Amino acid sequence: MQFIYNYKLFNQGLQINFMDQNFLSNTSSRKDEHLKICIENDVKYENVSTGFNNYIMMPNLLTKISPEDIDLSTTFLGKSMDSPLLIAGMTGGTEKGKAMNKIIAKICAEYNIGMGIGSQRAAIENPSLIDSFQVRDIAESIPLLANLGIAQFTSGYSVKEAEQAIEMINADGLAIHINPLQEFIQYDGNKNLANVQQNLIDLVGESKSPIIVKGVGTGFSNEDMKFLSSLNVAAIDLAGAGGTNWKKIEIFRNPSLTNLSTSLINWGIPTADCLVNAVGVISDSSKKIIASGGIWNGTDAVKALMLGADYVAFALPALLAISKDSEEGLRKFINNYIFEMKIVLTMLGITNLEELRKKKNLLMRKTPH
Ligand SMILES: Cc1cc2nc3c(=O)[nH]c(=O)nc-3n(C[C@H](O)[C@H](O)[C@H](O)COP(=O)(O)O)c2cc1C
């Protein structure tokens, strides 16, 4: 309840002048602004679905198993997880971000699933913000991902800051988010991304810790995935289109962008298509595929796993669950998500993730009528 109360205060007390450059350019205020925009507005894609509705799973009415038989356990970055799920990185750097990270960490520890935190750039710039990202005391044994943007590396960060981010939260790996479209339309975005490939080669080559490369909701092209799979990355988090749309979030931050066409705003590779492409391109099974981008329920999560994802991640659904009913809201959401996964697997007659990988024939692509 404390968190909801904070949000009420937040909403009443913060008058955002969208043209106030100082406010908008401050790294941590911008993170709170993102939370507020996502809670108060529809920031999802319009007329672009994740593509999972193009697939049907074959229900097995004569199933011989029951939901209690289902074992969703797996491992990630050397840590065991009870379900192949992660809450993707969103926040930190402010009091609200700190409260939210603590709620997420508590629930992830309860369900023994993975967690990412939001970009730690604010804490690298201002160490007094470090504690808003630290959750290890709450979630001692879950896979925990640090987070920085590639745009920081194209403008000067090196493996030194990468290690700083990992050590800051005692993480198991570092997620590097890549969001050029957002940077290009953001008036205060970093437009100098020319060295992005070399920066990734250097970072992955020099880092002693696992590096996860992630999108933020536009999906990676085949060319991108070929390049990424040539690097020694631990995982690629697809963040395809159909869920959170960062072009829309940027428009809420800067109304002068309303002139952008709906074609550009809704441009992205639907998550399911992006996943099928990734499975075709990434042949090395040690490079894990995290499916994300609009995977709002356990049924679509099982489809993603059947299409070849190793893990499923989501961000906005967790934020909205928390804004609705704080810790209890997130607990209910995760509980239902896992319940749904178990029901679906029971109906498919599949008891664990290893079996699931062998039974891809239970998933059919719908034929267009
Ligand atoms: C409020 C909010 C803040 C986010 N901040 C970050 C961030 O700091 N770093 C990052 O890598 N991704 C960030 N993301 C992107 C998510 O991690 C995720 O990749 C994306 O939202 C797609 O998943 P979804 O459709 O389930 O939300 C953020 C998402 C939301 C909703």
- Rounded to whole angstroms, the Cα distance separating 311 from 37 reads 28
DSSP code of 285?
Answer: T
Average pLDDT, stretch 45-59? 96
Calculate how far, in angstroms, residue 78's C-alpha sits from the geometric centre of ligand 1. Answer: 24
Calculate how far, in angstroms, residue 13's C-alpha sits from the geometric centre of ligand 1. Answer: 25
Pocket test for ligand 1, best of 48, 132, 177, 218 (most atoms within 8 A of CB): 177
* Residue 151 dihedral angles phi and psi, to the nearest 5°: -60, -30
Q: Whose CA is nearest to atom 1 of ligand 1?
A: 35
Q: How many domains does the chain have?
A: 1
Q: Which residue has the tokens 């933020």?
A: 216
283-296 tens-digit pLDDT: 999 999 999 999 99
Domain that holds residue 109: 2-55+74-336
Asked, for residue 351, whether it belongs to a domain, the answer is no
230-268 tens-digit pLDDT: 999 999 999 999 999 999 999 998 888 888 999 999 999
Q: Whose CA is nearest to atom 3 of ligand 1?
A: 90
Nearest ligand 1 atom, CA 34: 1
Of 89, 104, 51, 74, nearest to 288 (Cα)?
Answer: 74
Asked, for residue 60, whether it belongs to a domain, the answer is no
Q: Which residue has the tokens 């640090």?
A: 146
User: Residue 59 to residues 62, 69, 347, 348, 364: CA-CA distances in angstroms?
Assistant: 9, 17, 5, 5, 11
Calculate how far, in angstroms, residue 244's C-alpha sits from the geometric centre of ligand 1. Answer: 7
Asked, for residue 365, whether it belongs to a domain, the answer is no
Calculate how far, in angstroms, residue 252's C-alpha sits from the geometric centre of ligand 1. Answer: 16
pLDDT of residue 360: 83
Asked, for residue 315, whether it belongs to a domain, the answer is yes
DSSP state string for 45-105: -SS---SGGGEEE---TT----GGG-B--EEETTEEESSSEEEPP---SSHHHHHHHHHHH
Nearest ligand 1 atom, CA 292: 23
Asked, for residue 116, whether it belongs to a domain, the answer is yes
Pocket test for ligand 1, best of 38, 39, 316 (most atoms within 8 A of CB): 316
Calculate how far, in angstroms, residue 361's C-alpha sits from the geometric centre of ligand 1. Answer: 32
Asked, for residue 368, whether it belongs to a domain, the answer is no
* Residue 71 dihedral angles phi and psi, to the nearest 5°: -120, 110
Q: Which CATH number characterizes residue 263's domain?
A: 3.20.20.70
Asked, for residue 194, whether it belongs to a domain, the answer is yes
Asked, for residue 206, whether it belongs to a domain, the answer is yes
- Rounded to whole angstroms, the Cα distance separating 90 from 35 reads 8
Calculate how far, in angstroms, residue 369's C-alpha sits from the geometric centre of ligand 1. Answer: 35
Sign of CA dihedral 322, 328, 330, 332: negative
Q: Is 231 within 8 Å of 254 (Cβ atoms)?
A: no
Calculate how far, in angstroms, residue 88's C-alpha sits from the geometric centre of ligand 1. Answer: 6
- Which two three-digit tokens encode residue 129? 């913000």
List the single range of 25-29, 205-209, 216-220, 274-278 with lowest mean pLDDT.
Answer: 25-29
pTM: 0.93
For the cut 70, the answer to whether the pLDDT of residue 5 exceeds it is: no
306-326 tens-digit pLDDT: 999 999 999 999 999 999 999
Residues with Cβ within 6 A of ligand 1? 34-35, 38, 88-90, 118-119, 147, 175, 177, 214, 216-217, 239, 243-244, 292-294, 314-317, 319
Calculate how far, in angstroms, residue 201's C-alpha sits from the geometric centre of ligand 1. Answer: 24
148-175 tens-digit pLDDT: 999 999 999 999 999 999 999 999 999 9
Strand partners, 176: 148, 213
- Which two three-digit tokens encode residue 248? 């829309």
